[in-house]
Amino acid sequence: MAGWSCLVTGAGGFLGQRIIRLLVEEENLQEIRALDKVFRPELKEEFSKLQSKTKLTVLEGDILDELCLKRACQDISVIIHTASIIDILVVNPRESIMNVNFKGTQLLLEACVQASVPIFIHTSSIEVAGPNSYKEIIQNGHEEDRLENTWSAPYPQSKKLAEKAVLAANGLTLKNGGTLYTCALRPMYIYGEGSPLLFASLSEALKNKRILTNEGKFSVANPVYVGNVAWAHILALRALQDPKKAPSIQGQFYYISDDTPHQSYDDFNYTLSKEWGFRLDPRLSLPLSLKYWIAFLLEIVSFLLSPIYRYQPPFNRHLLTLSNSVFTFSYKKAQRDLGYEPLFSWEEAKQKTMEWIGSLVDQHKETLKTKTQ
């Protein structure tokens, strides 16, 4: 595509900023529009330094602001939609999660059609597929399995509805008479430097003498490095721009994993952090079945109190299932259709993540030192 342009939503987020860094290397790309509700000053500065042959425009605006979306989509060739609230513990109100993740996607699709943007790539989630029970075993699953999450929890529900809306929009007639082509990518649990979930786990461990929790020891997962997920988005947009490849990709979803070893979430966190003195909690934990029923009772308490008080349980059944299931997926379809191969090896991804963890440990030491002075 000669002289094309790309809008990235959620561009200030963990994944969005990685996509921006790869996009600036694309050929014939005239403009990148980076949209998010707010950008950290240091990220704005970094983005300004990325400007070369490609114009990079930073837009601060709400995904639920129709006027903002209308302006952002004008004269755009490709939309990469990563913006969402990732909230498994339901810290945010259910309505907020559903609005941003589902309604925001619907509004963006409408703006896309009105502005005649021909390509729409959606960052979905592995949670669209499940897991629905910690007793269910899925190893090296694939797209033909047609798995579907049955939880009513707002995050998986909103991501499932959003993905369905995006894939259903494939083939829509645009305002200028053209056709909209869409696809969705379902990454595994994403890790890497700056991972919000990994940061939360490590911050908690630093408060507890570097002892990691043992909340996910029964799981078998295949986490994926953030750089590889960003790379899959670049390959998806290239494929949808290619007249030969595009017909087999339009309206499809793809699992995105890499060559990170399959292991439990607990072992994974330990592998990345043991060099810095972190260790797994040696204490025995309650049986998973008992914790599941405790979570159920806490959810009932939360529901009963909801008219007068918003009680947030420390864990819920959805989280227990997610963190203790055997649930892994192959990237063979993405390899076949998109030409996807991980850009970063496991060793590279591990090294980069470990170095970032080391920086967190150093920051923690400096904080403690300041407090004692």
Q: What gap in Å lies between CA 118 and CA 116, rounded to an integer?
A: 6
Q: What gap in Å lies between CA 80 and CA 108, rounded to an integer?
A: 11
CA 357 remoteness from chain centre = 20
Report the phi/psi class of residue 170: left, alpha or beta, with left for phi > 0 and alpha for psi in -120 to 50. beta
From the list 134, 155, 255, 292, the catalytic residue is 155
Annotation says 155 is catalytic = yes
Helix/strand/coil (H/E/C) assignment for every residue in the chain: CCCEEEEEECCCCCCHHHHHHHHCCCCCEEEEEEEECCCCHHHHHHHHHHCCCCEEEEEECCCCCHHHHHHHHCCCCEEEECCCCCCCCCCCCHHHHHHHHHHHHHHHHHHHHHCCCCEEEEECCHHHCCCCCCCCEEEEECHHHCCCCCCCCHHHHHHHHHHHHHHHCCCCECCCCCECEEEEEEECCEECCCCHHHHHHHHHHHHCCCEECCCCCCCEECCEEHHHHHHHHHHHHHHHHCCCCHHHHCCEEEEECCCCCCECHHHHHHHHHHHHCCEECCCCCCCHHHHHHHHHHHHHHHHHHCCCCCCCCCCCHHHHHHCCCEEEECCHHHHHHHCCCCCCCHHHHHHHHHHHHHHHHHHHHHHHHHHHC
Cα dist from 226 to 148, 210, 248, 256, 353, whole Å: 24, 24, 25, 10, 10
Token reading at 129: 């597929």
Q: Are 323 and 215 in contact (CB under 8 A)?
A: yes
Residues belonging to the active site: 155
